[in-house]
């Protein structure tokens, strides 16, 4: 099964200093049928105005992945850690219940655009509080994984996150590790096809797709494409 989640169906917010699109229930946006998908709790795309910031806050026990699409982001925690993340880079916060985190757009003239994911974290796993990675230029880049394989960010959950970058007409095939996955178009148009049910969907910029019981997934770019494939076995 492949079921699309159109960008225009998502929750939205415009606070002036912050513009956001929410795939799942978050903040003021609440839909009891969309509280996350497997261990994926949050999938937001947000734009912070120049000089704007999220003040320090604590999180539930989750891994917070921030993928910077435009501008720069500065992340700080109450343990004294600080990291600057630029466009084409990602940071992973392995949140702890007694640690607070803040996010800042350090530029006074450029907006910050980033995508943020929250993933439930296994209680018995501990990782560095902040990890950072630069995206590869290849068509398929393993962004995050349970064991940090291929120098990817290490998650505290059995989840694999793939970054996809294709030109129009290019195609990739993925083997899915479990019964569920989620595909998100960051920009560009995608044709996605399942290998078991032969289900097919076409996605445009900002759309996503719930994938269920598809062991093989074929992704074809209809335009220049940037996307994430989140493999969610549990």
Structure confidence by residue, pLDDT tens digits, 30-57:
999 999 999 999 999 999 999 999 999 9
The bridge status of strand 140-145 relative to strand 153-154 is parallel
Q: What is the residue extent of each domain of the chain? A: 2-232
Nearest-10 Cα torsion for 144, 162, 68, 146: -10
- What are phi and psi for residue 9, nearest 5 degrees? -85, -15
Q: Which homologous superfamily is 2-232 in?
A: Jelly Rolls (2.60.120.10)
Residue pair 61/120 in contact by the 8 Å Cβ criterion: yes
Mean pLDDT throughout 128-138?
91
Asked whether residue 145 carries a pLDDT value surpassing 80, the answer given is yes
pLDDT above 90: percentage of residues in the chain: 90
DSSP strand E in 105-224: where? Answer: 112-120, 130-134, 140-145, 153-154, 160-166, 171-175, 180-187, 190-194, 200-203, 208-212, 216-221
Mean pLDDT throughout 112-121?
97
Asked whether residue 234 carries a pLDDT value surpassing 70, the answer given is no
Asked whether residue 161 carries a pLDDT value surpassing 80, the answer given is yes
Joined tokens for residue 23: 């795939």
């Amino acid at each position: 099964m492949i079921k699309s989640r159109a960008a225009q169906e998502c929750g939205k917010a415009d606070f002036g200093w912050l513009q956001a699109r929410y795939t799942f229930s978050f903040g003021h946006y609440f839909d009891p049928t969309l509280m996350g998908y497997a261990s994926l709790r949050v999938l937001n795309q947000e734009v912070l105005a120049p000089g704007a910031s999220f003040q320090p806050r604590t999180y539930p026990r989750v891994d917070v992945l921030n993928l910077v699409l435009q501008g720069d982001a500065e992340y700080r925690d109450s343990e004294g850690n600080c990291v600057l993340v630029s466009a084409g880079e990602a940071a992973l916060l392995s949140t702890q219940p007694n640690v607070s985190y803040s996010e800042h757009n350090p530029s006074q003239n450029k907006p910050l655009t980033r995508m943020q994911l929250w993933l439930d974290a296994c209680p018995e796993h501990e990782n560095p509080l902040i990890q950072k990675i630069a995206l590869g230029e290849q068509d398929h880049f393993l962004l995050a994984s349970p064991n940090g394989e291929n120098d990817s960010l290490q998650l505290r959950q059995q989840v694999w996150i793939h970054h996809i970058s294709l030109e129009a007409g290019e195609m990739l095939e993925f083997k899915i590790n479990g019964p569920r996955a989620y595909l998100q178009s960051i920009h560009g148009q995608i044709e996605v096809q399942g290998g078991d049910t032969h289900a097919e969907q076409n996605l445009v910029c900002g759309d996503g797709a719930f994938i269920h019981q598809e062991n093989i997934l074929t992704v074809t770019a209809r335009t220049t494409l940037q996307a994430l494939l989140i493999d969610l076995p549990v």
